[in-house]
Amino acid sequence: MKSNVFTQLCDVRYSKRDFLKLGAATLPAFFVGFEHANAANAAFTPVPENQNDTVTVPENYEWQKLVSWGDPLFEDMEDAKIQPGAPFTFTRAEQEMRVGTQNDMFALFPKNYAFPFSNAAQSDWIMCSNNENSSPYLSIVSNNGRLNPTPSEIEALYAAQGVTIMEVTHDIASGAWTPKLCKQGEGLNRRITPFSEVIFEGPAQNHPWILDGQKITNAYEANLGNVPKNRSGVMCGTLQNCAGGFTPWGTYLTAEENVDNMFFVSDNSGAKLASARERDGYEFDEGSYGFGNRWRLGGPDQFDLSRNPHSSALYGWVVEIDPYDPNWAPRKRTALGRKKQECANTVLSKSSQVAVYSGDDQSNEFVYKFVTTGKFNPNNRTANRDLLNSGKLYAARFEADGSGKWLEISLAAANAAPKGILDTPFADIADLKVRNREASRRLGATQMDRPEDVECPKDDHFRGQGSVYVVCTGNTSEDNFNGNAANPRRSNGQNPELNYTGHIVRINEKNDDHAATDFTWEIFLTGGDHSAQSVNLERTNGDVRNMSSWIEGQQITSGDRFAMPDNITFDMAGNAWFTTDGMPDNFPCNDGIYVVSTTAPAPRQVKRFLTGPIGCEITGPLLSPDNKTFFCGLQHIGGENAQAVGYRGQQEAPFSTFPNDTWPRDTIVYVRRKDGGIVGG
């Protein structure tokens, strides 16, 4: 069965005349509420659109740097010398002791774990931060944009990815946050890189592709003296870590997203490579593996698909890390299925089962929920570390009438679903988990416009309210040109437009229970220009498009315009804080942070809280538990100019010098009110 694209749904796209004729009582659920006045929003003066090469925040707020790429994690280490004219001195070993590149999601854990979580200010914390990617253009300063890294430099670029774990201290009186350096071999500071030891657990841990990939990977690392400490350990670590989540028992979940970016092929004629292709060993579209990533040639052998054809099966998973226990090897949780993981956000159901929500961040992919078999035990933290190995995985189907269903991805259902002429049966549950995307398509899950963060507001006991926010960055793929009810299209004359500016869908679980299999849904926000239902503007690439946020004559969003929402979090007052990744492609403004009330009816007013320096996307929105500090990441700073022209050797230098007026460095910043009050209050 094909996914239920728009032509397979009943037509729910009402014109304004239909709206007036039918009345709100007969309008689909996801369009109800337009005539109500807007509710109160966060109390700050919005930041205007700008292209400043710095962090811009509202009046009466101030920002500070927490850490940047290359900062040391341990005592007696020199500060990084990253500036024009300086040689690139980071080896793999050096980068494994420093903050990684391109920070994305991050989470704060109190130094002393306690459940329920406390909103009180505390002094000692642990921060986990994803390091999503690395760039030879931005990271190897001496190359001046040329694509000629050495094998040692390539290995260091791999090592810059993964996760950074560091202790941080908070001065409650001044509000300052500071990284705490540890002695090597002591404390909790560490890096998890693509060369670290991990353990595969769950239904797919013994899948032949995984066993084949880990055997070859371990052999290559053993030649370097890097061997696992655990019998089932694999030296493949983690990479391409985008968003993630954290659990009630104090572990960090990191999501492996664009893993296809990290492989190369030195010999297309290999028999093993041909076999892997024949069996669809990549699972992701083979073309997305970008064999043109030539800069990686000469990199670590385990990422050469000619030598290790199933190594890609080692990635695309949710990885669980215990920040409190450096001796506990990270676990790859195969029960959650393999995909381009954007996130893994957890919430407790009414029965204390754990629900984990995630998106598969690619055009026309799906939204997922995993519900554990076991229940959370608040009295034994470490006993919960196996919960994510057993449960039911679901993909979402959004119906045109505003209802929805979580489709269980079971072996029986997937094999009973209609198959294409080239589709093969799923051999067992392990095969099902590795080929998760294929199963979701067969079952009829709804194709989405790049579903990224999927997040729930929750209380200190990790109890949700039944609401789930699905952030869709947008879709420029003509494979789903008409969209569907949950991914509506603007009109351009008689023709639909692709979704250039993205939107946010809100799910309401049945009976407010996150273990439910039925839900209702609505379009919560739409990106674009909110001023009129038709706003023809020239995009950065010169195309003239209807950039309005209105859908079928209805205004869903008001206030500051935005494009391509990405990650989201929530404050105690009921506001959603979300990032953008691609604003400069659509409007003359750097990417930023936007705030909207979750309790307001449409049209919901959006306010711009922050903009970053040139060329960066904003990542990892996070509020401290007392809501007096806001954190965010500035990723790939200077990677493009204000006109979105990439730094790919086209220019002499990046288009930013943030944060030190020398060379751009990925940075985590924090923002506070000058009077020390609640952020946004």
Mean pLDDT by 10 residues, the chain (681 residues): 32 31 32 37 93 97 98 94 77 96 96 94 97 88 73 93 98 98 95 99 97 97 96 98 98 95 80 62 45 66 90 96 98 98 97 98 95 98 98 98 98 93 90 95 96 96 97 84 86 76 98 99 97 87 88 94 98 97 93 97 97 96 98 90 45 82 94 98 90
468's enclosing H/E stretch is strand 467-472
DSSP bridge pairs for 391: 372
d(CA 422, CA 539) in angstroms, rounded, equals 40
Query: Among residues 248, 156, 138, 246, which one has the least CA distance to residue 193?
Result: 156
d(CA 611, CA 634) in angstroms, rounded, equals 10
Query: Among residues 622, 531, 508, which one has the least CA distance to residue 252?
Result: 622
**646: in domain:** yes
d(CA 315, CA 210) in angstroms, rounded, equals 9
Phi, psi of 51 (to 5 degrees): -125, 40
C-alpha count within 13 angstroms, C-beta hemisphere, residue 423: 21
d(CA 414, CA 639) in angstroms, rounded, equals 42
Question: Which pLDDT value is given to residue 276?
Answer: 62
Count structural domains, the chain: 1
**439: in domain:** yes
Q: Please check whether residue 664 is in contact with residue 68, taking contact to mean a CB–CB distance below 8 angstroms.
A: no
- Burial state string for 578-595 with b = 16 or more CB within 10 A and e = fewer than 16: bbbbbbbbbbebbbbbbb
Radius of gyration, alpha carbons of the chain: 24
Catalogue the E-assigned strands of 213-330.
233-234, 241-246, 252-256, 318-321
Read off the amino acid at residue 355: A
d(CA 445, CA 451) in angstroms, rounded, equals 13
Find the angle CA(298)-CA(287)-CA(234) to the nearest 5 degrees: 55
Q: Is residue 657 packed enough to be buried (19+ CB in 10 Å), middle (13-18) or exposed (0-12)?
A: buried
Residues 6+ apart with CB under 8 A from 615: 636, 637, 638, 639, 640, 641, 647, 654, 655, 656, 664
Q: Give Cα 58 to chain centroid, integer Å.
A: 26
Look up the domain containing 160 and give its range. 6-673
Phi, psi of 215 (to 5 degrees): -65, -45
**678: in domain:** no
Q: Is residue 225 packed enough to be buried (19+ CB in 10 Å), middle (13-18) or exposed (0-12)?
A: exposed
Question: Which pLDDT value is given to residue 477?
Answer: 76
Q: Is residue 182 packed enough to be buried (19+ CB in 10 Å), middle (13-18) or exposed (0-12)?
A: middle
Residues in the chain: 681
DSSP bridge pairs for 597: 575
**48: in domain:** yes
Tokens of 628: 């007096």
**448: in domain:** yes
Find the DSSP H helices in 197-318: 208-222, 271-278
Q: Put the strands of the sheet holding 451-455 in their side by side order.
A: 345-348, 353-359, 367-375, 391-398, 403-408, 518-526, 503-509, 467-472, 451-455
> If you search the block for the tokens 């220019």, which residue do you land on?
651
Residues 6+ apart with CB under 8 A from 495: none
Categorise residue 676: left if φ over 0, alpha if ψ from -120 to 50, beta otherwise.
left
* C-alpha distances in Å from residue 671, one per residue of 177, 295, 576, 632: 10, 37, 16, 9
Tokens of 415: 């094999």
d(CA 47, CA 274) in angstroms, rounded, equals 54
Phi, psi of 162 (to 5 degrees): 115, -125
Query: Among residues 293, 252, 55, which one has the least CA distance to residue 165?
Result: 252
Q: Give Cα 656 to chain centroid, integer Å.
A: 24
Residues 6+ apart with CB under 8 A from 444: 1, 2, 3, 4, 397, 407, 417
Q: Please check whether residue 415 is in contact with residue 429, taking contact to mean a CB–CB distance below 8 angstroms.
A: no
What is the SS3 assignment for 38? coil
Query: Among residues 277, 131, 267, which one has the least CA distance to residue 190?
Result: 131
d(CA 294, CA 296) in angstroms, rounded, equals 5
d(CA 9, CA 468) in angstroms, rounded, equals 23
**681: in domain:** no
Query: Among residues 365, 356, 378, which one has the least CA distance to residue 460?
Result: 378
Q: Give Cα 237 to chain centroid, integer Å.
A: 18
d(CA 364, CA 5) in angstroms, rounded, equals 10
d(CA 14, CA 523) in angstroms, rounded, equals 14
**1: in domain:** no
**278: in domain:** yes
Question: Which pLDDT value is given to residue 299?
Answer: 86
For residues 255, 260, 261, 265, the Cα torsion angle rounded to the nearest 10 degrees is 150
Q: Please check whether residue 563 is in contact with residue 582, taking contact to mean a CB–CB distance below 8 angstroms.
A: yes
d(CA 21, CA 591) in angstroms, rounded, equals 40
d(CA 657, CA 638) in angstroms, rounded, equals 7
Q: Please check whether residue 583 is in contact with residue 540, taking contact to mean a CB–CB distance below 8 angstroms.
A: no
